Structure 1
Amino acid sequence: MEKKFQIFVSSTYEDLKGERDQVIKAILEMGHIPVGMEMFSAADEEQWKIIQRQIDESDYYVVIAAHKYGSIADDGISYTEKEYDYAVKKAVPALGFVLADGANWPANQMESSSEKRDALERFKSKIKSRIVNFWTTKDELHAKVSISLMKSMQTSPRIGWVRADTVNASPELVAELTRLSKENATLRAELEEASSLAEQNLDKEKVSTKSFEILRKNSVKIYIAKQGDTEWGEPRDGTLLEVFKALAPNLMVENTFKKIGADIAVFYGETRYRELAPVPTNLLSHWLADLAALNLIKPSSRKHAVSDKNEYWTLSEEGYELLKDIRRIQLEKGLVEQEAPES
């Protein structure tokens, strides 16, 4: 018979709403039952008893940690850490997901109190002493939670829940399954509402495909020769993502190797660039090879005259989709600059 597992999701709340939504979405997509602190009223002793009961009934426990320690209980420990300690004490398989060091994070979502920062670091060390994953974006967190839960379900199978019509169900079991079904329906409705709001407020994380993240974190040095220059001079700092943004618009059909170099020079603000090899051809070849390795560009298959010895490149389907996402977000944020017409 098919089992559904109850999974308790624990974290600070206000700073990790979007991340919690992604974790809940991952659990629902796997066909299981997410529960968490947002289902209960304000913090008090009665609520803590309810939370303990939910953890007791849960098959797995997931904790997400970033840069907030959270609300403190009367005993001086945050409710998130109390939930974690209780799950470990009850031998519920606990999966930790800690924001990676160096990951981008809003300053206003970090603890300002040195005491809370110290408590948070001690809590993170506690999480890292057991099964832990590190994440940088909501989408990455979604994927890692799904993979980790699947592995844990295989290596640490739990009792779980089954449909009442597949067992000799007692009235108590039927009542409990009915309650969980209602909770599941409520969570689905809340998730759909959250997803709708997220679509209206797209940001860079909505473009956080694997390729986007790889491009963003790979730095490059940009050398541009001006008209009359015989040496390259000092390089500019850039990324492969900027290189992609520079060359992608003119690759929607196709473009030559020579003109791609000019597009990069213009992107970095140099309009009086050297006509022959405005950027180093060896670096340009490496960048094109990197983008091709990520399946974002490919050699053009359009027919040209036999006498045309130019090397032509074009966007792949994946590259076209990534360009659309980037441009859409720039348009919604009003970040697309209007260019002057070419003479």
Structure 2
Amino acid sequence: MDRRYQVFISSTFTDLIDERREVMQALLEMDCLPAGMELFPAGNTDQWTLITGVIEQSDYYLVILGGRYGSVTEEGISYTEKEYDYAVELGIPVMGFVPAEPDAIPVGKTDKDSRATERLAEFRKKVQLKMTRDWSNAEDLGSKVTRGLMHLIKNNPRPGWIRGDQAITPETRAEIAELKATIARYEKKEVEISAYTPTQMDSKFAHGDEEVTITLLHKGRGYLQSEDGELSYTWDEIVEVLGPFMIDEAPESSLRNTFNNHILLDIQADTEGTWSTDFMSPSAKISDRSWGAIIVQLRALRLIAVGTKKRTVSDNAVYWKLTTAGDEYLVSLRATPSRAEQAGANHSLSHP
């Protein structure tokens, strides 16, 4: 597969213009993508932020030393050395190119400041701790870069860049197709599992006319007065209240509000004075524990199941629906029998 590698070129600039041009030409002839300061666009982006971003995207890093240490940062280190240290820190393969005869460099291309000369010498020693090549002139440097980079690529494989139409090999396509088939099998299995709906109620759990006591919380009108209370309901009444809303899938919060309203009506309809007269307009709520018990029981009876319809990612609600058994049970509770059926039932009761 045809890969192209991005190569970062680091050096001082004004004293190595010809040398950098030769290096860039050598890289282009190798189908590499050169990156360096002369290619950076003008803009408001902080210079060092821009440089580090380009280095991070590069596959290889070349540093060319001449006779100057270069402009320094606020920390007192040259940009060239700072770039080199950053590339090494990232683990990018680096190669240095140092002058074969430093003393032969023209005076106009060397530092006049003794401190800068010392820093350059120290930097040269650092670079020479890793792979380096000597160069004598621009043309020689270009050829040395070509041979050195070939060696660097051979011994330090990097991801490189690939044309979009070549990025997927036949092997990768086959692998992707296999993964898609595996995912499809799992999705089908998941749908089959989620689509499973019991056709018969599990009658070994409490149901029908058996009662359950629920705990509720309510607040009065006029002042906030919290008071716990209890109400008893048969399981058939609970199914009658909630079942119609679960013929299609319903969010749990909506079901809970429906049951709260049912409780409220029972409190307001109390004629025996069980509840305080202050609670003429209370807001009654079933406790979390009691609501959880109802959900668990209806699931144990196989009357309800978790909803399976696809919804938006932002919809975190839990949805419940009637199973086939739950739907049949609700119909048996709520459907009105015919007059003939009622007459037959009454006749059976009067003539055992």
From the CA coordinates, give the structure whose radius of gyration is larger.
2
Decide which structure has greater strand share. 2
TM-score (norm 1): 0.47
